[in-house]
Chain A
Amino acid sequence: MTTATLDKKSSDQEHKGSVKSIDKPDDTIQIISRLMDYMAGGDKRAKFIRALIVRVIALVCLTALPFLTGQAINVVSDSNGTTAELQRWVMIAVVAAVIYLVVSFIVERMFADLATKALQKLQNHLFSHMQILSLTFFDRQPIGELMSRITNDTEVVSLFYEQAVSPIIGALIQILLTFLVMLVIDWRLSIVALLIVPVILILTNVIERISTPAFAKMQEELGSLSGFQEESLSGHKVIISKRQQDWADKKMMSLPLVSTMSVAKHSLPRFCSTR
């Protein structure tokens, strides 16, 4: 089949319907589970579990540090406290801090390895899948939009693998360990401190509700924007020769992402959620 015939065929198919956008899954848990499968599924499972165990060791040391410095302060506060006692707690704290540093370095290497391999696998799967799609698909999807989806969106996924999975897991373990230590020190104060947790959870939930759809929309709009910019700059000779610069300018300004309020609306919850 010649290229021309393919063109004609795709052209006919194109004219049977309007230009459609790709369907997107909307189940967040399902998406995360699918993404996590690249990082912790199959032959990666054992390494992922090993990384988790090492992470726990690091966090035990980290959680122990405030306890140990607290003990040192107790010695100092006690009128009967001695330098030898202080030295003992200080030495244990130094050992804990050094172990924490060394083990953290190991665990970050393990998670970075898992994260980058997961992303590579995902990129390769995506590309391989695109090779088996029909020409109709490519006719319906502007190249700029597809590129944006592949480049911008996989960048966001890389952030998920590299900067979200490991810290989130670490934070969860640390919360649990810290709470246990707090209970050991003083259970009543621990309960008072916990009163703030529901407020944090509600706030997080509110931010998540605003941020997630807004961010998805921003990524989609970014795709349209990149698509139009690519198209109009590539076709600049036609635009100049027909003196349609005003059309290009108006079209660009009409795209949602270039509105300040729109950008800020999308970015603010995203930014706040990272604070």
Chain B
Amino acid sequence: MIKSLRRTLGMYKKYRARLVISQVLVLISATAVIGVASLNQQLINEGIETGNVDVILSTGLWMFVLALVSGLCLSGTAYLAVFFSQGTGYFIRSYLYRKIQTFSFGNYDRFRTGDMLVRLNADVVNVQNALLYMTLLLLYAPFMLLVTYILTIINTPSLIWVLVLVTVIVLGVMAILIPQVFKAYDQRQQRLDDMNNTMQENLAGVRVVKAFVREDYEVERFDRRTNALRKPAYTAAVRVAFLAPMLTGITQLGIVLSLWIGGQQVLEGSGLNVGELVTFTQYLSLVVAPLAMLAIVFPFMLRGDASASRIFEVYDDEPVVQDKEGVVPPDAETVGGRVVFDNVSFAFRRPDGELDPPVLKNINLTIEPGEQVGFLGATGAGKSALVNLIPRFYDVTEGRITIDDVDVRDVPQDNLREIVGIALQEAVLFQGDLRFNLKFGAPQVEDDVMFEAAKAADSYGFVTNIPQQWEAPVAQRGANFSGGQRQRLSITRALTTQPKVIILDDSTSALDASTEGRVQEAIPDFTNNITTLYVAQRISAVIDLDKIVLLENGEIVAMGNHEELLESSPLYQDIYESQLGSGITAGLDVEVAK
């Protein structure tokens, strides 16, 4: 039981000694509390009843000292428990994040970004809380219960059934109420997630909302979410708030019952005295509080265990793509950039480890150094999957890919990604400034290289028009730049690393045709003999390239330059006709005729 949570206990070895000390303090504190209650008997029987002032004073002093010891020990426990739980939380959070940084694309396919964020935050907090309560109560409550029962059996055996009755009632009530509280909290959490998602969507798409004047609609939508949230929030709040008065009421009724039963025994002179009776009522109070706390904390521990299990699921996952041992990095300067796909097939892997149907089948392709090649095809044809195999974002399922006759799996990933640069479909920029973003892959390069890359990617002009130029601030995800600007900056970033092979994965989709053309013309001038691979859905993006590879359902169905394909491939002709139409066809015909 709580196997995952127990595993977290051993993770943070630095504070293990403090954990042990905290538990010793817990036991001292509990003993002192029971001591104070037990001294009531002496105070009443030997002090108040007999009018012995010395006994009253000495007992009172002992009670004060014990109460002080208990308070100090409990404070010490709280201090150590907070350090232990937060320290473990810190450890888990930072190491989990570090582990995530070793992941490949395949791991991210398995654990989505939002999912990982929940594990890094909410799940870590759940584990922290569970550890905190475990440290504080897991030993305290059972110890208190055990000692109180033993003392009751020794001192007031005739009232033990009252203690049992109150224990059973408290546990019964908690057993009914606590699941209701957690059910309400779970529903509240779900509604809260819905509300947060609506908020997140609104914030992410705030420009669209404003552009289409949909603010009122959004407000109404959000209002529905908060309304849905209120009901479970109300149920949870009532249950939680009523818990304390109910336990107080049960305790008081238990005390009254023991006074009625025990009081009659005292009045009848059947063995019980006033001191014993008062002490018993104290024990009754001592039993209820830890019992209630334990009942409250137990579901927290279950929840913490579930969260710990989710955390370890990520923590124990291994990067899908790893470097082979002993691979020797090639000299990047001497790499020519000849890329060969040798009978390559590829399938994505499902979370259970099984392969999905292949998205690439028997790909054979040779790309010569300096060649400009375009990959064209419909959505899902396998274009991005194909180019993602070159820098080993994924590994091939069958066959091999070589660069200058060296299998990419025999090249360390660090070196491979120096050789192969990529501007991804989604042009993500990070918060910081432009210089930081543009040199993200190669912080050491001279500014001149960045300037030249910016000129090739057609971003130099708009950057130099910004007053702060290369120091201009970049908001999170580059939200303060337009889509086209972000794409050009993304291409600049890819070029700044001066790769031998550059992949533009649909990264010119937001550019107009003339800008796209300028970028295509400028890239070969930026680095001599650079191999350039374009992934595109628009035929205009690849029309002027040396070679166009036409993909359909994961297979190469045609290959050649524009004119060759127009002549030989019916699919290419269809795409061409649908995208550019007969007007341009006519023009090209004239050119071809010339």
Residue pair B393, A240 in contact (C-beta under 8 Å): yes
Of chain B, the residue at the smallest CB distance from A144 is B476
Contacts of B82 in A (CB 8 A): 264, 267-268, 271
Please determine whether B391 and A235 come into contact, CB atoms closer than 8 angstroms.
no
> Is the beta-carbon distance between B234 and A113 smaller than 8 angstroms?
yes
Q: Which of B239-247, B357-365, B548-556 participates in binding chain A? A: B239-247
Shortest beta-carbon distance from B330 to chain A in Å: 16
Set of chain B residues within 8 Å of A130, measured between Cβ atoms: 202-203
CB <8 Å contact, A86 and B267: yes
Query: How distant is A143 from chain B, measured CB to nearest CB, in Å?
Result: 5
Q: With A120-B229, A258-B90 in contact, is A233–B117 under 8 Å at CB?
A: yes
Tell me if A237 and B424 are in contact (CB < 8 A): yes
User: What is the bound-complex CA distance between A263 and B79, given in angstroms?
Assistant: 13
Residues in B whose Cβ lies below 8 Å from that of A38 = none
Interface string of B229-251 (1 = CB under 8 A from A): 11001100110111001101100
Given the known A-B contacts A120-B230, A124-B222, are A253 and B475 also in contact in the complex, defined by CB atoms under 8 Å?
no
Q: Given known contacts A58-B245, A147-B199, A240-B393, is B267 in contact with A233 (CB within 8 Å)? A: no
Label chain A's interface by main secondary structure.
Answer: helix
**Stretch of B366-374, B451-459, B477-485 on the interface side:** B477-485
**Least Cβ–Cβ distance between A153 and chain B, in angstroms:** 12
Total count of chain A residues near the partner, CB < 8 A: 106
Q: How far is the CA of A87 from the CA of B393 in the complex (A)?
A: 81
In the bound complex, what is the Cα–Cα distance between A65 and B248 (angstroms)? 11
Q: Is B204 an interface residue (CB 8 A)?
A: yes
B253 contacts A by Cβ under 8 Å: yes
B113 is an interface residue with CB less than 8 A from chain A = yes
A230-B117, A242-B441 known; A166 vs B249 contact (CB < 8 Å): no
The distance in angstroms between the C-alpha atoms of A15 and B472, with both chains bound, is 6
B264 touches A138 (CB 8 A): no
Check if A8 is an interface residue, CB within 8 A of chain B. Answer: yes
**Which residues 56-105 of A have a CB within 8 angstroms of B?**
58, 62, 65, 68-69, 72-73, 75-77, 81-83, 86-87, 90, 93-94, 97-98, 100-101, 104-105
A97-B253, A142-B475 are known contacts. Are A62 and B248 too (CB-CB below 8 A)?
Answer: yes
Measured CB to CB, the closest approach of chain B to A147, in angstroms, equals 6
Q: Are A259 and B237 in contact (CB under 8 A)?
A: no
B8 to chain A, nearest CB (A): 15
- Are B424's CB and A238's CB within 8 A? yes
Complex CA–CA separation, A127 to B259 (angstroms): 56
Shortest distance from the beta carbon of A179 to any chain B beta carbon, whole Å: 19
A188 to B117, CA, bound (A): 59
Q: Are A267 and B259 in contact (CB under 8 A)?
A: no
Between B82, B117, B440, the greatest number of chain A beta carbons within 10 A of the residue's beta carbon is seen for: B82
Q: Is A33 interfacial (CB 8 A cutoff)? A: no
User: Are the CB atoms of A69 and B475 closer together than 8 Å?
Assistant: no
Residue in B closest to A134 when the chains form the complex, CB atoms: B210
Are the CB atoms of A264 and B86 closer together than 8 Å? yes
Q: Considering the chains assembled together, what is the distance between the CA atoms of A141 and B78 in angstroms?
A: 37
Interface flag for A10 (CB, 8 Å): yes
**Selected interface stretch from A22-30, A40-48, A243-251:** A243-251
Q: Does A241 contact B (CB under 8 A)?
A: yes
- Within the complex, which residue of B103, B413, B477 is in contact with A234, where a contact is CB–CB below 8 Å? B477
Instruction: Flag whether B137 is at the interface (Cβ < 8 A).
Output: no
- Judged by a CB distance under 8 angstroms, whether A21 is at the interface is no
Interchain CA distance A233-B105 in the complex, whole Å: 11
Contact (Cβ within 8 A) A124 B430? no
Q: Is A252 an interface residue (CB 8 A)?
A: yes
0/1 string, B50-84, CB within 8 A of A gives 1: 00000000000000000000000011001100110
Contact with A along B404-416 (1 / 0, CB 8 A): 0000000001100
Query: Taking the complex as formed, is A220 at the interface, i.e. its CB lies under 8 A from any CB of chain B?
Result: no
Nearest 4 CB-CB pairs, A to B?
Answer: A242-B441, A142-B476, A104-B245, A7-B482
List residues of chain B with CB under 8 Å of any chain A CB. 49, 74-75, 78-79, 82-83, 86-87, 89-91, 93-94, 97-98, 100-105, 108, 113, 116-117, 120-121, 132, 192, 195-196, 199-200, 202-204, 206-211, 215, 218-219, 222-223, 226-227, 229-230, 233-234, 237-238, 240-242, 245-246, 248-249, 252-253, 255-256, 259-260, 262-264, 266-267, 274, 277-278, 281, 391, 393, 413-414, 417-418, 422, 424, 426, 428, 430-431, 440-441, 466-468, 472-473, 475-477, 479-485, 493, 497
Please give 5 more A-B residue pairs, beta carbons under 8 A apart, in addition to A4-B483, A19-B473, A124-B226. Answer: A7-B207, A15-B466, A104-B245, A143-B203, A264-B83
Provide 14 A-B residue pairs closer than 8 Å at the C-beta atoms, listed in order of the A residue: A7-B480, A65-B252, A72-B259, A93-B252, A101-B246, A105-B245, A112-B241, A123-B226, A235-B477, A237-B105, A243-B441, A252-B94, A268-B78, A268-B83
